[in-house]
Structure 1
Amino acid sequence: MARELFGTGKILIGVIHLLPLPGSPRWNGNLKSVMNRAKMEAGILQDGGAQGVIVENFGDSPFRTGRVDPETVAAMTLAVEHVRGAVSIPVGINMLRNDAISALGVAVATGSEFIRVNVHYGVMATDEGIVEGEAHETTRRRRSLNADVQILADVLVKHAEPMGQKDIGLVAQETTRRALADGLIVSGPATGQPTNSFDVSVVRRAVPDGFVLVGSGINDHNVWRILEHADGAIVGTSLKKEGIVTNPVDPERVSRLAEIFASMP
């Protein structure tokens, strides 16, 4: 069902890395500038050929490991509403570091189509501390809200090390079959770092009929190799001006990568 959200061919989902939100260490007091940049980047991504966008509170680092603050939820809801008003493609939410319940709430309130959950199933040692998956709670909350929101879950997420099962194929199967994720994301070790194409192939073999995305490190030079066994990718860093994650989205980079995606079988 997740595959049906985005259409045919290789899927390009662009990332909108929000500027710092209220309550975060680098919040500058200007919410209007956050909203304006989010709207602008959403438009650039759609016009450049992306089939979806995902909104992240990326500027709020260092991140909490549990529930985010109410002001973060409020600002994220406002930002996503601005993005939805600017595009007609599917919109997703990633509430960093791992607040799937708040992300789900924002998605329901704004009519968004999907969420990304960094640790949906299992336990990971991360930069911010120990993060435990809450698939039991997220899936029950989704059911109680009668929400048609797709859960795209990372498999052994970046910036983290597993505290249990390390077999990425088995984790992929359990995240889908036991934790009820609608799609899987395979990433490299850190933001902007290339995903290991072998890891993608292992996940594909483990869930041959599953929806699999690459979650980091895709660029013009490695896209053909890394995407061979994936349905598409979530791309952030390489779409920014000069390839720097904190810079604004670059229209030329978006169009160039989207053209490559469109040419792939």
Structure 2
Amino acid sequence: MTTLQLNTERKLLLGAIHLPSFLGAVDRSRFEAIQAYALRNARIFAEGGFDGVFLQDQTEGPSTAQSIAMLSALTRYVSSQVDSIALGSQMECDEAEPILAVAHASAASFVRIKAYVGTMIKDRGLVQGQCHTAYSYKKTQGIEALIFADIFDRCGVPLGDLSLVQAAKFALQKGADGLVITGKDYEQTLEMLSEVKKAFPQAKAICGGSVTKQNIQEVFSIADGAIVSSSLKSDTDSESWSVVKIKDLVAHARR
């Protein structure tokens, strides 16, 4: 499996493949269909020139034995078939141990944990920061996967008056290898990225949303990388990402 390298000057381009929910019975034929979907799109991101791609479990609610097992198996399978792009794991549950366990079992190169510090109010209620659990579990289990930690995920509202800089500091102290920064809109995202990079110039700050080929150069003038997904979907096939759009973004990013 290709591993993601952070100790270079290269700006990272990371994609995300949104997997179908694993809720309900998953027989062999459905699993094979999900497997084919994940493999096809991982190959598209690899052909397009991205550095890495998350396999993103979107199963609602807390993690289950089924969701952990399926995401581990899918990631392991895709990595055995595609060796030109680094693979990462992400789960809707935002629970550190299951996400890191998947990475450990599948040899994924990186993970994304959206609730890392503080407390967030999300549609499912209060979500507690996972930094202490992630830091401890990764260390005790000998897990090598990089942690990309969201600072104030846009899908929720922070509870309390924890500042952006303080939240970033806590995340870095507790094992975050990269900080994912996403504001409510593009302008706020740039402001937040600038604030974090000013406070922690050596930290890897990743833009988590609103990236297009028109603004990628501006984003990369501040950020160390970007996560881009929805804007790169195919216009004609809802089950696929567009290699043409991905290559076009890469071309604009690498100028």
The residue that corresponds to 1:172 in the other structure is 168
Q: Deviation per CA, 1:193-239: give whole Å up to 9, x if none.
A: 64621111111112110011011121112222233211111111111
State whether residues 100 and 115 of structure 1, in contact with CA within 8 Å, keep that contact through their aligned partners in structure 2.
no
- Which of 80, 91, 94 is the matching residue for 2:87? 91
RMSD: 2.5
1:249 corresponds to 2:241: yes
Other structure's SS at 1:30 match: helix
State whether residues 6 and 52 of structure 1, in contact with CA within 8 Å, keep that contact through their aligned partners in structure 2.
no
| Moved segments of 4+, more than 4 Å | 5-8, 26-29
The residue that corresponds to 1:158 in the other structure is 154
1:57 corresponds to 2:49: no
State whether residues 6 and 90 of structure 1, in contact with CA within 8 Å, keep that contact through their aligned partners in structure 2.
no
The residue that corresponds to 1:103 in the other structure is 99
Per the TM alignment, residue 18 of structure 1 is displaced from its structure 2 partner at its CA by 0.9
1:213 corresponds to 2:206: yes
5+ residue gaps, structure 2, are none
Output the TM-score relative to the length of structure 2: 0.90
The residue that corresponds to 1:20 in the other structure is 21
Q: Deviation per CA, 1:45-65: give whole Å up to 9, x if none.
A: 01110011111013x3xx32x
Provide closer, same or farther for how the CA distance between residues 203 and 247 of structure 1 changes in structure 2, counting only shifts above 3 A: farther
CA distance in structure 2 between the partners assigned to 1:52 and 1:113 by the alignment: 9
Per the TM alignment, residue 102 of structure 1 is displaced from its structure 2 partner at its CA by 0.7
Per the TM alignment, residue 166 of structure 1 is displaced from its structure 2 partner at its CA by 4.3
Other structure's SS at 2:221 match: helix
CA distance in structure 1 between the partners assigned to 2:8 and 2:40 by the alignment: 24
The residue that corresponds to 1:133 in the other structure is 129
User: What one-letter code is carried by the residue in structure 1 that aligns with 2:213?
Assistant: D
User: What one-letter code is carried by the residue in structure 2 that aligns with 1:169?
Assistant: V
State whether residues 4 and 52 of structure 2, in contact with CA within 8 Å, keep that contact through their aligned partners in structure 1.
no
User: What one-letter code is carried by the residue in structure 2 that aligns with 1:69?
Assistant: T
The residue that corresponds to 2:12 in the other structure is 11
CA distance in structure 1 between the partners assigned to 2:204 and 2:234 by the alignment: 30
Q: Deviation per CA, 1:151-173: give whole Å up to 9, x if none.
A: 11001011111002342122112
Provide closer, same or farther for how the CA distance between residues 108 and 218 of structure 1 changes in structure 2, counting only shifts above 3 A: same
CA distance in structure 2 between the partners assigned to 1:7 and 1:107 by the alignment: 23
User: What one-letter code is carried by the residue in structure 2 that aligns with 1:209?
Assistant: Q
Per the TM alignment, residue 188 of structure 1 is displaced from its structure 2 partner at its CA by 3.3
CA distance in structure 1 between the partners assigned to 2:120 and 2:57 by the alignment: 20
CA distance in structure 2 between the partners assigned to 1:6 and 1:95 by the alignment: 26
CA distance in structure 2 between the partners assigned to 1:7 and 1:168 by the alignment: 25
Provide closer, same or farther for how the CA distance between residues 38 and 73 of structure 1 changes in structure 2, counting only shifts above 3 A: same
Other structure's SS at 1:242 match: coil
- Which of 171, 175, 182 is the matching residue for 2:177? 182
The residue that corresponds to 1:73 in the other structure is 68
Other structure's SS at 2:203 match: coil
User: What one-letter code is carried by the residue in structure 2 that aligns with 1:213?
Assistant: I
- Which of 184, 189, 200 is the matching residue for 1:196? 189
Name the count of aligned residue pairs. 251
Provide closer, same or farther for how the CA distance between residues 138 and 98 of structure 1 changes in structure 2, counting only shifts above 3 A: same
CA distance in structure 1 between the partners assigned to 2:121 and 2:68 by the alignment: 25
State whether residues 53 and 86 of structure 2, in contact with CA within 8 Å, keep that contact through their aligned partners in structure 1.
yes
User: What one-letter code is carried by the residue in structure 2 that aligns with 1:135?
Assistant: C
1:118 corresponds to 2:114: yes
